[in-house]
Chain A
Amino acid sequence: MDIFTASLWGITGAAFIASLVKDKQKTFNSMKMAKGMMKNMVGQIIGILLLIGLILTFIPPEVIKSTLGESNTFISTIVSALAGSITLIPAFVAFPLVGSLVDAGASIIPAVAFLTTLTMVGLVTFPLEKREFGLKFATIRNIFSFVFAIMIALAMGVIM
């Protein structure tokens, strides 16, 4: 276990004990919630992790580099941002997937674009958003979020 994960366990352990001391019942209820969340997501997580293995085995790094790499940034960024807008997977399972592609040679610009639109832009949830906040709010918020996701991605490309 790396230092980062270990310290996260340390912090969470301390928070858990503090929570337990303060209110036993509340802590047990929150653990029930944690268990429920995990149960809901575990199928998806294992599915994505096994998919990573298939991708790394069957798609050679050269292909990942040429389609998602530095030479092809513009189109791959737009396509990744669109893909992020239409998919509805929790960011939680997206991080290892994106991480594996970046390790295999993908540029971080499309990676960031995908991660940001994945959470901020929602075409699948658009009808819900429209019903609660109206067409104008939902449309403009999603368009702005899309445009800014690409700007964040480009800025990340400059910084990193």
Chain B
Amino acid sequence: MKIIEIFKKNKLLTAVSLAYVILFIAIPDKAYLSVKNSMYYIIEMLQIMPVIFILTSIIEAWVPKEVIMKGFGEKAGIKGSVFSFLLGSFSAGPIYAAFPICKMLLKKGASIANVVIILSAWAVIKVPMLANEAKFLGVQFMGARWILTVIAIIIIAYLMTIFVKKKDIPVQDEQDIGKVTGIDIKEQYCIGCGLCEKLLPRHFEVIDKKAKWKESILNDVQIDELKPVIAKCPVKAIGFK
């Protein structure tokens, strides 16, 4: 059972390994050549992979995201855009991890342009990733692509403000506290950090790296207890339902 799960999680690796096994039996010469061809990239990757993950984690721990988030809004102008670039560039994770954070910033008054900048910068401009790109494709390649991408992001952000207005973006109405029936956790965004479990073990539990809500009926006191936890969730995956 567990082995099947491991295979399922690593579909690509399983398929490639299978191809290698068949190859080693059928045409061993070619199999050796393939391993030899991969070797250069494996060695290069081993040298740079740990350092990139360590750097990403240190940046994630020390860059004061909350301070950056406070730094912009509708009126923040160029300063706001610079902050948006910084926030996107210094965050870890794929683009969809930025969705709930951007949604929250929109609610707090961030402009469409700045949200587009955060999303795009989050996707393409990562300091440690730039190091990886320079390693495998050259410093010049990385530098040129970086400059062009920054220019493109600014233009896209500006164009977006022409086509999309704030009213086009769906808003969930603020929940009436009297009608709160429980907690909703968006699993796609949860990174299983365990912060909610640490703060309120009575209500939250991390199972299989995803936070789960322990069903219970909420009274006003508990709802007040839950509010700071909802605000503290680093990926903004928790909300009332």
A residues near B (Cβ < 8 Å) are 1, 4-5, 8-9, 11-12, 15-16, 19, 26-27, 29-31, 33-35, 37-38, 43-54, 56-58, 88, 90-92, 95-96, 98-100, 102, 108, 111-112, 115-116, 119-120, 122, 125, 128-129, 131-134, 136-137, 140-141, 144-145, 148-149, 151-152, 155-156, 159-160
Contact = CB atoms under 8 A, between A and B. Distances in A.
Interface of B: 9-10, 12-13, 15-17, 19-20, 23, 30, 33-39, 41-42, 44-45, 47-58, 60-62, 92, 94-96, 99-100, 102-103, 106, 112, 115-116, 119-120, 123-124, 126, 129, 131-137, 139-141, 144-145, 148-149, 152, 155-156, 159-160, 163-164, 168-170, 188
B156 A12 contact: no
A12 B58 CA distance: 9
Nearest to B139: A4
Contact of A12 (B41, B51, B61, B149): B51
Contacts of B58: 12, 15-16, 19, 27, 30
Given A37-B92, A148-B155, A51 B12 contact: yes
A145 B30 CA distance: 40
A133 B60 CA distance: 25
Contact of A8 (B39, B57, B115, B131): B131
A128 B149 contact: no
A156 B156 contact: no
Nearest to B39: A53
A30 B60 contact: yes
A145 B169 CA distance: 19
A29 B120 contact: no
Contact of A48 (B12, B48, B62): B12
Contact of B47 (A5, A49, A52, A100): A5
Contacts of A48: 12
Contacts of A137: 112, 160, 164, 168-169
Given A102-B137, A151-B152, A144 B159 contact: yes
Is chain B's interface secondary structure helix, strand, loop, or mixed overall? Answer: helix
A9 to B, nearest CB: 5
A116 B156 contact: no
A14 to B, nearest CB: 10
A155 B148 contact: yes
A149 B36 CA distance: 34
B120 A49 contact: no
Given A43-B12, A120-B123, A19 B51 contact: no
